[in-house]
C-alpha cells in the first residue's frame, strides 16, 4: 500500500524515492547566535550525501533565520515586504553555503532561485529541476516562493508538490511533534502519528497553516525528525528511527 493511500491502514514506503528536506536556517548556525557554523554545515551536507548515496533523490529548502537574526535590528520598523525580501536574500546565502559543502564532497548540486540571480545560480524552472533530480543531483530551492508574505515552510510544500516528492522531511531540533515545547514542558506528549487537521486545530507549531493545508491538499506526508544528530536524516528517509508523521488520517 502506498504512503499516499488515504485508508486507515496507511503504511510508510521503505525507503522513499524522492524527498523534500525542509530545515530552518537556525540549524546551520550550530551554537552561534547567528550566521553559519562551518562544522554544522559540513555535517548536514554529509547527512544529505548519505541519503543521496542510498539512491534517494533529494531537494532542499532552507530558511534564513540564522542570517536574518543578524540584521533583525536593522529590519525593525521596516514594512513587511522589505523585510521578507531581505529574508529571501538570506536564504540564497544559506543555499550557496550548503551547495559548496556538498560539492566539496563530490555531490552534484544545483541552486535554483525564485528570484533571478543568473550570475550565481539558476532561475527556478520546474522541468529543469526535475531533470536535475532524475540525474541524481541535489536541488536547493532558494529565495522562498519569490513573494513576500509566504514562509519557507510554504515554499517547501509548494516545491514538494511541483517536484512530485513523496514526502516532506522537516528537520528540526526535536525528534518529532509534541503537544507543547518539550524544552519548556518536559511532560509534553509526543505524537507518533497525527493528522493535518489535528495539527491545525491543536495549533501545533510544526509548519505554518498555509504549508500544512497545501501538503494536505496534495496528500504529501510530513515527517518531523531531529536533524541535529548525524544519520537521522537517512534513517527517517528510510522510515526508521524516531520521527512523527503527519498524514490525512
* Tens-digit pLDDT profile for residues 39-87: 999 999 999 999 999 999 999 999 999 987 655 555 567 888 888 999 9
From 220, 221, 200, 239, select the one nearest 51 (Cα to Cα): 239
| Secondary structure class of 77 (helix, strand, coil) | coil
**Residue 7, pLDDT above cutoff 90:** no
DSSP calls for 199-226: HHHTT-SSS-HHHHHHHHHTT--EEEEE
Average pLDDT over residues 197-221: 96
Please check the confidence at residue 1 and state whether its pLDDT lies above 70: no
pLDDT of residue 74: 55
Give the model's pLDDT for residue 3: 40
The burial class, CB within 10 Å (0-12 / 13-18 / 19+), for 155 is buried
- The CATH architecture assigned to 18-189+214-225+234-247 reads 3-Layer(aba) Sandwich (3.40)
Kindly report the average pLDDT of the chain as a whole number: 91
pLDDT of residue 83: 87
pLDDT of residue 5: 40
Contacts of 115 (CB under 8 A, 6+ apart): 88, 92, 143, 146
Enter the pTM of the model: 0.91
pLDDT in tens, 150-169: 999 999 999 999 999 999 99
Q: Which residues contact 175 (CB under 8 A, 6 or more apart)?
A: 190, 225, 226, 232, 242, 243
Cell numbers found for residue 181 = 515545547
Residue 2 has pLDDT above 80, yes or no: no
What residue ranges do the domains of the chain occupy? 18-189+214-225+234-247
What pLDDT does residue 10 have? 43
Q: Provide the pLDDT for residue 239.
A: 93
Amino acid at each position: 500500500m502506498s504512503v499516499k493511500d488515504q485508508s486507515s491502514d496507511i503504511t510508510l514506503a521503505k525507503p522513499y524515492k524522492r524527498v523534500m528536506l525542509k530545515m530552518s536556517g537556525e540549524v546551520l548556525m550550530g551554537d552561534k547566535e547567528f550566521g553559519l557554523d562551518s562544522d554544522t554545515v559540513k555535517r548536514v551536507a554529509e547527512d544529505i550525501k548519505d541519503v543521496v548515496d542510498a539512491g534517494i533523490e533529494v531537494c532542499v529548502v532552507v530558511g534564513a533565520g540564522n542570517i536574518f537574526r543578524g540584521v533583525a535590528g536593522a529590519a525593525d520598523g521596516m514594512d513587511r515586504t522589505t523585510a521578507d525580501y531581505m529574508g529571501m536574500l538570506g536564504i540564497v546565502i544559506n543555499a550557496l553555503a550548503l551547495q559548496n559543502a556538498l560539492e566539496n564532497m563530490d555531490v552534484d548540486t544545483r541552486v535554483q532561485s525564485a528570484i533571478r540571480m543568473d550570475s550565481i545560480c539558476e532561475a527556478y524552472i520546474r522541468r529543469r529541476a526535475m531533470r536535475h533530480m532524475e540525474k541524481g543531483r541535489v536541488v536547493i530551492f532558494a529565495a522562498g516562493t519569490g513573494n513576500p508574505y509566504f514562509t519557507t515552510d510554504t515554499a517547501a510544500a509548494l516545491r514538494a508538490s511541483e517536484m512530485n516528492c513523496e514526502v516532506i522531511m522537516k528537520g528540526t531540533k526535536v525528534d518529532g511533534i509534541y503537544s507543547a515545547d518539550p524544552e519548556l514542558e518536559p511532560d509534553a506528549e509526543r505524537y507518533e502519528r497525527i493528522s493535518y487537521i489535528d495539527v491545525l486545530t491543536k495549533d501545533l507549531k510544526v509548519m505554518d497553516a498555509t504549508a500544512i493545508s497545501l501538503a494536505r491538499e496534495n496528500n504529501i506526508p510530513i515527517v518531523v525528525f531531529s536533524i541535529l544528530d548525524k544519520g537521522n536524516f537517512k534513517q527517517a528517509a528510510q522510515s526508521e528511527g524516531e520521527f512523527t508523521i503527519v498524514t490525512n488520517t
